[in-house]
Structure 1
Amino acid sequence: MLCRPGAASLSGMTGATLDRPILAPAPLRLVRAALALLRRLVDYTLILLLAAMLLIVFAQVVGRYLFNHSIPGADEAATFAQIWMVLLGAGYAMRQRLHVAIELVIERLPVPAARLLLVPVAGLCLWFLWVVGQGGLLLMQVGAWQTSPGLQVPMDIPYAMIPIGAAYFALEAGLSFGAAILGLEKVTTGGGVRVD
């Protein structure tokens, strides 16, 4: 991170040192780089899942109505892609603060009280995601003994998205709630629907 010139002069630095950037500690830079890489990977995975789902459904429609031939397992593959996309996309929506939130009480509170109220809210959300992740792991154990009817893949592969999606959602929720609680971001999103 680069330091603002005003902040550098407050810490007693001379004018000559203002030209050099002040970098964050190496572990923090590594964490930021890993988070950026993970987010980029999630973005590309969501794009690929959407493209795969659209192509599979399009191929199935063309095959069924033009050639009177159904592609075996196409419906199942499109369904799995959609499920993976939704569960992974929930974390993306959390990153963009696009989830529905009832902020009536928080908007009426003073900022310190609103931040304090976010602590149990964050705790409940993270606890819920923990329960979902644990349930997904149990479902994967059951799914390891089953195969899907169309694609004949072990069902623990499609079920793996439940704990993966819950873990990514928890990461983004923790970062979002943490930033609001620590005062790095606004407590509320401002209401309304984002259209950008």
Structure 2
Amino acid sequence: MPAQTRFFTHKGKSMVVKKLVDSLNAFIKWILILLFFIMVIVVFLQVLFRFVLDQPLAWTEELSRYLLVWITFLGAGYAVSVKAHPSITLLFEKANKAVQRVMLALSTLLVVFFFYQIIVNSFVFIERSMVQTSPALQLPMGLVYTVIPISSILFVINLLYITVSEWGKEASN
């Protein structure tokens, strides 16, 4: 197979992966927007009923708290896709290309291992929490905690995609 044909085949696969990751992140972005919109409405109802009607709603505080947790966790996973997490690049920028590649691979492996541990252990935690219900909404707490593995998987997908993309950019330079 000629080198040019292999390049286009590889490029085609990377375009499919890019499209899938971008679609996943676009979906998560719309979920985040929807959750935030719902949270704004719930908090508005909380304020309206508490201070205007003097009849506070017990469920609004609980729901807004759970929505904030989901927004925070999913937002952290989404933030990886737009490289919004802070990083210290002083040593990385001063290193040569070979050391940079090793540092990138090592840091990615450590983060993936960390999130692997979170994902595996969160399923046990979720299973145990399904018998506990929230006070006002009577939701199984395991449902609230399902955001932990979801956001961790999203974090890993985005991290791996960005790492492979950066690796590919350096290889083509």
Q: Tell which has more relative contact order, 1 or 2 (C-alpha 8 A, sep 6+).
A: 2
- Could you tell me the percent identity over the aligned residues? 25
Residue of 40, 44, 50 corresponding to 1:64: 50
Partner of 1:90: 76
Query: 2:94 and 2:16 mapped to 1: Cα distance?
Result: 38
Deviation, structure 1 residue 111: 2.1
- State the one-letter code of the partner of 2:124: L
Structure 1 position 75 matched with structure 2 position 61: yes
Q: Which residue of 2 aligns with 1:18?
A: none
Quick check: 1:104 aligned with 2:55? no
Instruction: Pick closer, same or farther for the CA change 1:80–1:184 going to 2, 3 Å.
Output: farther
Query: How do 1:172-191 and structure 2 match up within 5 A?
Result: 172-183=158-169
Measured in 2, the distance between the counterparts of 1:72 and 1:157 equals 19
Amino acid at match of 2:23: L
1:157 is aligned with what amino acid? L
Checking the alignment, whether the CA contact within 8 Å between 2:49 and 2:57 is kept in structure 1 is yes
**Which has the larger displacement, 134-143 or 150-159?**
134-143
Aligned residues: 166
The runs of 5 or more residues in structure 1 that have no matched partner are 1-10, 12-21, 186-196
TM-score relative to the length of structure 2? 0.87
Root-mean-square deviation over aligned CA pairs: 2.2
Contact kept? 1:72, 1:150, Cα under 8 Å: yes
The 1-side partners of 2:169 and 2:84 are apart by: 19
Out of 13, 32, 36, the position equivalent to 1:46 is 32
**Which one has a bigger Cα radius of gyration?**
1
Structure with the largest fraction of helix: 2
Normalization by structure 1: what TM-score? 0.77
Question: 1: distance between equivalents of 2:91 and 2:15?
Answer: 36
The letter of the residue matching 2:45 is A
Q: Is the 8 A contact 1:73 1:151 kept in 2?
A: yes
Give the Cα separation in 1 of the matches to 2:121 and 2:129: 12
Deviation at 1:112, TM superposition (A): 2.6
Whole-Å separation in 2 of the counterparts to 1:69 and 1:130: 45
Q: Deviations over 1:74-108 (max 9, x none)?
A: 11110111111111111111111111111111010
Task: Provide the secondary structure at the position in 1 that maps to 2:55.
Answer: coil
Q: 1:184 to 1:40 in 2, by over 3 A?
A: farther
